[in-house]
Chains A and B, each alone.
Chain A
Amino acid sequence: MADMSNPTPLLQVSDLRVTLPTARGWAQALRGVSLRMERGQTVGLIGESGCGKSLTALALMGLLPERAQVSGSILLHGQELVGMPEPQLCQLRGARMAMIFQEPMTALNPLHPIWKQIAEPLRLHQHMGVAEAKARALELLDRVQLPRARERLDAYPHQLSGGQRQRVMISIALACSPDLLIADEPTTALDVTVQKEVLALIKQLVNEDGMGLLLISHDLGLMQDQVDRVMVMYGGSVVESAATPELFAHRAHPYTRGLFAARPRLGLARGTRLTTISGSVPELMDLPAGCAFADRCTLAADECRHTPPQVESVGLQGLSGEPHAVSCPRWRLS
């Protein structure tokens, strides 16, 4: 919710553009992403593979490949992150902003016991001693509700299940009480029942600490349960953004509508054919000059292919007063 008494938002991203080197030349991977987030707010980024959602997260964390060209602005508490020297970024990463990755097995170091990995940010950013950091690690493991936490301090990642490893990842991310937590598909590798527990845990911790949460997922149903506001990405741009209930009730962009229609849902009759979006996600190199979705869109006209779409207001305001914005000049047509 936009808080007028606090003019400096937690995170303000303006016209973020990222160009990546590929075998076929430079590819425009992010094409002007803007977002604003206050403390305590939860925002979801949704889209299919290659839409730029993970890249947005990496850009925020300053973890892009070295040759990537970044333009635009990322302000964390009003501090510019684009172009910030690496040593300074290191001070922020893990301390003011932290990230939970998709695959806890590869994100954790298999050679260190888990307490050491939780203690690492504490020792680095808060200059704790070994004993103090280990005691804090135990508190954190208790907080993420890892069963038998005391015995597990000395466990290695392979001795834990996927859900338990993800809890360890979360405790590492939370170690220094960051202001911004980025979770990139945190539960995609987990079973549905475990997924539900881990998501509930993240939600609870975010509420308790008043962090900002940027949740990245391809799962629409998950977004509905987890975040205040959803941003739909396609071809490196945000095509629609609105408060979650508003987006679920009035989807405006043809791509958002297509995504909703294509999803198999409980309650559909056996054999129902799903409504598909024709074609497939375009390669970054092959994006048209205009709207990236134009080639798959049923509403597309010639202008769509040549002119980048302007952001339009859908007019309906969500309960929270969040604007509902859509990047499509023809959204009213259906």
Chain B
Amino acid sequence: MTPSPIKPTLLEVRQLGRRFVMPRSAMWGPASSLQALSDVSLSLKAGKSLGIVGESGSGKSTLARLVMALDQPTEGQVLFNGVDVHKAGTSQLRHLRSGFQMVFQDPYGSLDPRQKVLSIVTEPIQTLAKPSDGRSALRERAAEALSEVGLRTADLDKYPHEFSGGQRQRIAIARALITRPALIVADEPVSALDVSVQAQVLNLMMDLQDRYGLSYLLVSHDLAVVNLMCDDVLVLQSGQVVEQGPAAHIFQHAEHPYTRMLISAVPGTRDAFLEQEKT
């Protein structure tokens, strides 16, 4: 990606809402519904990161799924480079998707245990591959993606169970990177990892962002991770945006009581604020 002085808006979400119809409680009564997300608007520029925080049930993952076009909104739009992803046809969406990829939380559940790393990593480009691209070309691109995340070419012929949790998350990142996306939606990418491994994966994600001008939409319950990784933050409570703005500002001067409560509930916040004063 060529750096330009004015960063274009990569992702724009307008008044997005999602209502789920719940099972009927009585045989003849009307089915109840749950407004999982309402009136969420955000924009994300190329090369920037946005953190989505909130507790379980706040709608974080619903938002991520809608952005990825894995689910249809009941209201609003998701524009990726100006194109409404929910209005795109199947084949157009397939091409659009090479621009935005996802990394999931569970490095054990998100990789097919019966596939070798080669087919896992190249899956996103297999549908887009031209007949002229031979197997060796695919393998080359997969090897490149693996070296990007600090794994070796020899790892292409192994199965997921041969890797540790941190390595599996690297494989998931390599799978996302292989299409050369502009945006990676990461849903709790490090919450299943041990502290020492989590730091390695976070550093890797930041390095990749610097190298390729990637944007991240980072869903996390961990405020410290969002603080480290994101330029902007959006706080969700029961599907509503309660606060959004620059992360540095919100973490120091949160206005909404819910945001303040989230920050003060982080264990060991006391020394965190001391460190802040020192710097």
Contact = CB atoms under 8 A, between A and B. Distances in A.
Interface of A: 48-49, 162, 191-196, 199, 218-222, 224-225, 248, 258-259, 262-277, 280-281
A115 B230 CA distance: 46
A281 B194 contact: yes
13 contacts: A49-B194, A195-B265, A219-B267, A263-B224, A266-B273, A267-B227, A267-B272, A267-B273, A270-B228, A274-B202, A275-B199, A280-B166, A281-B194
B222 interface: yes
Contact of A221 (B164, B198, B268, B279): B268
Interface in B184-227: 194-200, 202-203, 206, 221-225, 227
A262 B206 contact: no
Contacts of B221: 191-192
B251 A277 contact: no
Interface string B243-270: 0000110010000000001110111111
Query: Quick one: which of B195, B198, B276 has the most chain A CB within 10 A?
Result: B195
Given A193-B55, A193-B261, A270-B230, A264 B268 contact: no
Nearest to A219: B267
Contact of A268 (B55, B194, B228, B262): B228
A280 B272 CA distance: 26
A248 B206 CA distance: 28
A276 B272 contact: no
Contact of A274 (B166, B203, B261, B272): B203
Query: Quick one: which of A192, A193, A273, A280 has the most chain B CB within 10 A?
Result: A192
Contacts of B148: none
Contacts of B251: 266-267
A278 to B, nearest CB: 8
A266 B227 contact: yes
B107 to A, nearest CB: 12
Contacts of A272: 228
B231 interface: yes
Given A222-B267, A267-B272, A262 B261 contact: no
B271 A192 contact: no
A196 B251 CA distance: 19
A219 B267 CA distance: 8
B224 A262 contact: no
Contact of A222 (B195, B230, B268): B268
Nearest to B194: A48
A224 B271 contact: yes
Nearest to B167: A280
Contact of A192 (B197, B231, B248, B266): B266
Contact of A280 (B56, B164, B224, B273): B164
Q: Which A-B residue pairs are the 3 nearest by beta carbons?
A: A221-B268, A267-B276, A221-B267
B275 interface: yes
Contacts of A196: 265, 267
Contacts of B200: 276
A180 B197 CA distance: 33
Contact of A225 (B227, B229, B267, B276): B267
B276 A263 contact: no
A88 to B, nearest CB: 37
Given A221-B267, A221-B268, A274-B202, 19 more contacts: A48-B194, A49-B165, A196-B265, A222-B267, A262-B195, A264-B198, A264-B202, A264-B224, A264-B228, A265-B271, A266-B272, A266-B276, A268-B227, A270-B227, A270-B230, A270-B247, A276-B196, A276-B203, A281-B197
B266 A221 contact: yes
A192 B262 contact: yes
B268 A224 contact: yes
A277 B198 CA distance: 10
A220 to B, nearest CB: 7
A269 to B, nearest CB: 7
A276 B203 CA distance: 9
A48 B197 CA distance: 10
Nearest to A280: B164
A224 B267 contact: yes
Nearest to A222: B267
Contacts of A270: 227-231, 247-248
Nearest to A192: B265
